[in-house]
Amino acid sequence: MIHKSTLDFLSKLSKNNNRDWFEKNRPDYELAKTNFKEFVSEFILSTSKFDPSIKHLEAKDCIFRINRDVRFSKNKAPYKNNFGAILAPGGKKSFDAGYYIQLQPGASFIAGGMWQPPTPQINAIRQEIDYNAEEFKKIIGAKEFKKLLGKLSDEDKLKTVPKGYDKTHPEIELLKYKSYITLHNLSDKDVLSKTFLKQCNEVTKAMYPLNLFLRRACD
């Protein structure tokens, strides 16, 4: 379970995002970090039952640092106000299709798929969709996918036609994505529920066919 104290720490951090406060409250951070790490370990174990490609992962392979890289950002806050982890075959440093979970009071979510893959991968994905459009549409049109995820996220999509394709292509809208991701939002009540892990696995299981398709395209 995710403890209420973990969300409370993140909530306080968002209002006191400075090194002095963080160091004074480091014991609370360590407890929250440990709670999230334990959850991620369980999440890997349960998700790997239907996606064996991630069974070798450990929580440390998946969890992102809470420190922000502020070198090129106008926002100089030193810490993220969330805990995040990605479960993907190559771990958090890979571009593999996977499952991303973010805990943030009032804004937690699970995402699946591939976010802004490099040019060779995005080209390969578009080609796979071009060749197997019906299979892809069946995946994103599946009952559980639509129920839990709705549709692919439109936030990162070309306004023009991707290079190498004609605007009259019957699946041109599916080929315009720069990221192939889908989201499931989580309330604080969801996160603190005793059935939270089960809920997460229902979501990731609905995402699994999409990830399989994207991984195959990039192999």
How many DSSP H helices and E strands does the chain contain?
10, 4
For residue 156, pLDDT beyond 90: no
Q: Can you tell me the distance from the alpha carbon of 39 to that of 32, in angstroms, rounded to the nearest whole number?
A: 11
Percent residues over pLDDT 70 in the chain: 100
- What tens digit of pLDDT does each residue of 83-136 get? 999 999 999 988 899 999 999 999 999 999 999 999 999 999 999 999 999 999
125: domain CATH number is 3.30.930
Q: Residue 72's pLDDT is what?
A: 76
Instruction: Let me know: does 95 contact 179? Beta carbons within 8 Å.
Output: no
Q: Can you tell me the distance from the alpha carbon of 162 to that of 174, in angstroms, rounded to the nearest whole number?
A: 11
Tokens of 22: 């963080």
Look at the block and give the residue holding tokens 């976010």. Answer: 115
Q: Which residues, including other chains, have CB under 8 Å from residue 8's CB and lie 6 or more apart?
A: none
Instruction: Let me know: does 9 contact 71? Beta carbons within 8 Å.
Output: no
Q: Can you tell me the distance from the alpha carbon of 203 to that of 130, in angstroms, rounded to the nearest whole number?
A: 27
Number of domains in the chain: 1
- What tens digit of pLDDT does each residue of 24-73 get? 999 999 999 999 999 999 999 999 999 999 999 999 999 999 999 877 77
Q: Can you tell me the distance from the alpha carbon of 96 to that of 161, in angstroms, rounded to the nearest whole number?
A: 25
Amino acid at 61: D
The domain of 23 spans 4-67+75-218
- What tens digit of pLDDT does each residue of 196-215 get? 999 999 999 999 999 999 99
pTM, two decimal places? 0.95
Q: Residue 73's pLDDT is what?
A: 77
Instruction: Let me know: does 85 contact 92? Beta carbons within 8 Å.
Output: yes
